[in-house]
Amino acid sequence: MISKKEMTEEDIKMKYISPALEKSQWSVDDILFERYFTDGRIEVRGNKAKRKNGKKADYLLHYKKNYPIAVIEAKDNKHSPEAGIQQALDYAAILDVPFAYSTNGDMFVEHDRILSKERTFPMSEFPTKEQLWERIIATKELTEEQLQVIQQPYHYTRGAKSPRYYQRIAINKTVEAIANGQRRIMLVMATGTGKTFTAFQIVYRLMKAGTKKRVLYLADRNILVDQAMTEDFSPLSEISTKVTDRKLESAYEIHFALYQQLAGNEDGKEPFRQFSKDFFDLVVIDEAHRGSANEESNWRKIIDYFDGPNTTHIGMTATPKNDKEASNLDYFGEPVYTYSLKQGIEDGFLAPYRVIRVGLDVDLEGYRPEKGKTDIYGELIPDREYGSNDFDKNLIIDDRTVAVAKYITRYLKDQDRRYDKTIIFCIDINHAARMRQALINENSDLYKLDDRYVLQITGDNQIGKSQLGNFADSNSKYPTLVTTSKLLTTGVNIKTCKLIVLDSNINSMTEFKQIIGRGTRLDEEHDKEFFTIMDFRNVTRHFADPDFDGEPIITKIIDGTDTEPEPGVFGGDNEDDTIDGGEGGTFISDPPSGDGSETRRHVYHISDRRVKVLNDRVQFMDAKGKLITESIRDYSKKNILDQYATLDHFLNAWNHAERKRVLLEEMEARGVFLEELQKEEQLEGFDEFDLILHLAYDQKPLTKTERINNVKKSGYLNQYQEVAREVLEELLDKYKDDGIGELDDTQVLELKEFDKYGGVVNIIFKFGGIEGYKKALNGMKEKLYTK
C-alpha cells in the first residue's frame, strides 16, 4: 500500500480532505473544486498576446451561492500542515473570505481573518457550514433583519452570466452596508469591469428583500441609460420606465433618467419636484465622478431633494479622484470597495496596453515665428516660443496635423490593421474636423469604399453621433477611424477599440483615466486582446503618476462652477471651447468670466512650416504592470542575466531542457522580449538561442541556415535511412522557417507536409517507436546547438 508521504497532492485531496469535509456535512453544492476565479493576465509580445494561468483555489466553501466563507489550500504530505496557509490567506484576501485553511492530510491549520487568530486541529474536527456562519454572525453582530437582506440570493437564470469574484464582493459589501444603515455608498470600479451589472444585482437583491421599493437610476447620457435598461436591467423591464419629456410616472418602481432632464432650468419648478422627497428610497448615480458631487451643481439638486430618512445614495465611478472638481468622496465617503484598472489587467479581465510615444520636431524643439510673420489670414503672429500646449489651441500648423495623420496611417498599414477601430482625441471640435480631413487624404482608397471609414464624432456633428451605435457594435466594420474631442471620453462601450491616439493636452487625471478606459474592454471573439496607445503630446506621463492607479484622494472644489450639457441625444458633448470659423480666421469663445463677460481670441494658422517625426519609442507593460521605460534591449538583457548569470549557466539549462520552447516561454514571462529583439537587432534569420547568446553574453550568433549546415556536415543524418532521414531533413526545414519550437513534440508530424510519409504512427514506426524518435530528435538538437 502506498504511504501517505508518497501520495500526490491529488491523492491527499481525494483520500483525506474531501472525506473530512463530507464528514462535516459539506455537500458538493457548497464547494467549488479547483475553480479559477481569475482569467489570467494577458501578456503582449509584439503583435501577439498570450494568457498566463489564472488563480484558482483548491477548495472554495460557500454558505450560500455567491457567498463564499472559506478557502482551503492543499499540499502533499511532504509539506507541513501550515505550508499552504500563506497562499490560502492571499486568496482569501482577494476573494474577501473570512476563513483560510491549509492542510497536508494530517492536520488543518485555520486562520480567522475576522479575529486575526490562528489554530491547528485534527482532520476529523473541520467546522460545519453552520458553525462557520454562526461565528461570522457573532463577530459582526448581525440582526435578523440585516440577515434577511444579506442572505437574499442573486438574480440568475440558466445561461446568464454569474458575477465575477470582484463584482460579488462589491455587491455583498454594498448590500451589507445598506443593511447596517449606511446611506451614502461609493463603489470604485475600473472602466469595463461591469459597474452596471453590479448595480443591477444590488437593486435586484434589495428589492426582493423588501428593503427598497422605488429606485431612481441617474446618468448624464442617453446611451448610458439605454444600455442599462436594455442589457443588465432587462430582467426588471416590466417595473422600469425611462423618463421622457421630463415627466415622471408613479406607476413604475424603477425610473431611469438623465440628470439634466430632471434638473430643468428654472429654480423651484424642476421636473423632479413632481414626486415627494421620500418617493425614492434608493438612488443610483452612474459615473458619479462627474458634476453630481458639486454642491453648486444643478445635478446635485436632485440628489439633495431625494434624500429622505430611508433613502440610500449609491455612487459608481471609475475615477474617485477629481482634479479641479468637487470630490465624489467628499459627498459619499470612502469607497466600500475598489477594483482598479491594474487589478483588472492582472486578473485578465481587462485588456493590457502598449504605448507608442511619438516626438514631432515642432513639439520637441518649439516654434518661434520670424519677425513680422503673419498667418494665412494676414494676422501678425505674436513673437514668442510656441510649444505643444499651444498647437491647435492658440496656433494651428497644418503640416503638424498631416504628420500625425501620416504616422497613424503608416502604423496601421505596417501592422496590417487598417480596420482596427481607432479613436483620435483632439484639442477641440475644429481640430477634430481638420484631423478627419487629413486622415481621409491619407486613406482615400478605403474612404472610397465607404465614407464612414473616417468619421468625426463630436457634439456638433449629428451625422457622426448617429453612427455611434455602429462604432460600438463589435460586428460592424464602420466607422473605423474616428476623430473626437470630449464626446467619446466617457460612457461609450467600444469593446473592439484597438488604437487610442492622444493628440490633445490632457492634464486631468480623471479625464486621462476615462480615455484609457475606452480601450480596456476585452473582446477575444473579435481578436481584441490588447490595445495600443499612440501618444503625440506626452500625455502618457500620467502612467508614472502614483495617482494613476493609486488610492482615492479627496479633493476640494475650487470655484464652484459646473458646465451643464444641454439635453440631447447624448446629453451634450461637454466640448471645451465654442468654435467660430467665420471670415478672417478662427476664433475661440472662452467660457464666461466671473463678471459674465465672454472673451474671443484669435487662433493663428500657418501652412508653411514643415513637420517631421524626430523619434518614436514603443513601450510595453512588464510583469508587474509597469511601463518599461528603458530600451527593450537593455531590459531584456538584464532579465536574462538575472535568471542565468553566466553563459555556462544558460548553456547548462538549455542542454538539459527537453522542450526548448518551455524554457523560452519562461524567459519571455520574466520580461525577455525575443520577438521584438529579433526585429530591433535585425536578426530575423537567427533563432532565439543565438539571439540570447549575442545579446546577453556577447557571443557571435549563427544563422539557422548555418546551424542546419553544421548538422548535415557532422554526418549525424547518415545513421538514418529512407523515410526516417527524409523526416529529419523535413524537420530541419521546419526549424529554419518556424524555429526550435517545431522540434519539441510529435504534433509537428500532423502537419500537411508530413502526410506523404504515411501519418504520425507510420513515421514513429520508422524510428523503431516513440523512444527511438525522441532519441533521434534529441541527438539532432544536440548537433544543432554544438558550437
Query: Is residue 695 located within the same domain as residue 716?
Result: no
Query: Is residue 520 located within the same domain as residue 408?
Result: yes
* Structural domain includes residue 253: yes
Average pLDDT, the chain: 83
Query: Is residue 151 located within the same domain as residue 132?
Result: no
* Structural domain includes residue 106: yes
Residues 456, 487 contacting (CB under 8 angstroms):
no
pLDDT value, residue 551? 44
- Residue 485 has, within 13 A of its CA and on its CB side, a CA count of 22
End-to-end CA distance of the chain: 50
526548448: which residue's cell? 660
Residue 742 has a CB neighbour count (10 Å cut-off) of 18
* Structural domain includes residue 285: yes
Nearest in space to 75 (alpha carbons), one of 2, 3, 1, 4: 4
Query: Is residue 426 located within the same domain as residue 498?
Result: yes
Cα–Cα distance, 465 to 492 (Å, whole number): 12
Taking the alpha carbons of 523, 525, 530, 532 in that order, is the dihedral positive or negative? negative
Give the residue numbers spanning the domain of 439: 349-606
Our count of domains for the chain comes to 5
Check pLDDT > 60 for residue 511.
yes
Check pLDDT > 90 for residue 449.
yes
Mean of pLDDT values over 10-14? 93
Mind listing the pLDDT tens digit for each residue in 332-380? 888 999 998 889 999 999 998 888 899 999 999 999 999 999 999 999 9
Mind listing the pLDDT tens digit for each residue in 571-621? 333 444 444 444 455 555 444 444 444 445 689 999 999 999 988 877 777
Using pLDDT thresholds of 50, 70 and 90, give the confidence band for residue 751.
confident
Cα–Cα distance, 391 to 486 (Å, whole number): 17
Query: Is residue 591 located within the same domain as residue 670?
Result: no
Mean of pLDDT values over 256-274? 78
* Structural domain includes residue 157: yes
- CA–CA distances in Å: residue 670 to residues 423, 622, 638, 674, 676: 32, 8, 10, 11, 15
Query: Is residue 485 located within the same domain as residue 510?
Result: yes
Nearest in space to 166 (alpha carbons), one of 28, 336, 361, 24: 336
Query: Is residue 594 located within the same domain as residue 452?
Result: yes
Query: Is residue 360 located within the same domain as residue 428?
Result: yes
* Structural domain includes residue 617: no
Taking the alpha carbons of 709, 712, 716, 722 in that order, is the dihedral positive or negative? positive
Q: What's the CATH code of the domain at 67?
A: 3.90.1570.30
* Structural domain includes residue 55: yes
Q: Where are the alpha helices (DSSP H) in 415-508?
A: 429-442, 444-449, 462-466, 468-472
Cα maximum dimension of the chain: 98
Nearest in space to 521 (alpha carbons), one of 35, 42, 94: 42
Q: 632-643 vs 688-697: helix axis angle to the nearest 10?
A: 90
* Structural domain includes residue 355: yes
Mind listing the pLDDT tens digit for each residue in 304-322? 888 888 899 998 888 765 5
Mean of pLDDT values over 747-767? 79
Q: What's the CATH code of the domain at 232?
A: 3.40.50.300
Lookup: cell for 195:
459597474
Choose one of 591, 606, 621: the last residue of a domain: 606
What residues have CB less than 8 Å from 41, skipping those under 6 apart? 51, 52, 345, 346, 347, 348, 352
Query: Is residue 680 located within the same domain as residue 739?
Result: no
Residues 186, 329 contacting (CB under 8 angstroms):
yes
Choose one of 313, 339, 365: the last residue of a domain: 339
Mind listing the pLDDT tens digit for each residue in 84-134? 999 999 999 999 999 999 999 999 999 999 999 999 999 999 999 999 999
Choose one of 683, 701, 719: the last residue of a domain: 701
Query: Is residue 173 located within the same domain as residue 285?
Result: yes
Check pLDDT > 70 for residue 168.
yes
Beta bridge partners of 484: 425
Query: Is residue 709 located within the same domain as residue 689?
Result: no
What residues have CB less than 8 Å from 43, skipping those under 6 apart? 49, 50, 51, 52, 352, 623, 668, 669
Helix (H) or strand (E) holding 509: helix 509-516
Q: Pairing state of beta strands 531-535 and 353-360?
A: parallel
Query: Is residue 417 located within the same domain as residue 556?
Result: yes
Lookup: cell for 623:
510583469
Nearest in space to 155 (alpha carbons), one of 233, 216, 62, 212: 233
Residues 534, 411 contacting (CB under 8 angstroms):
yes
* Structural domain includes residue 191: yes
pTM for this prediction: 0.77
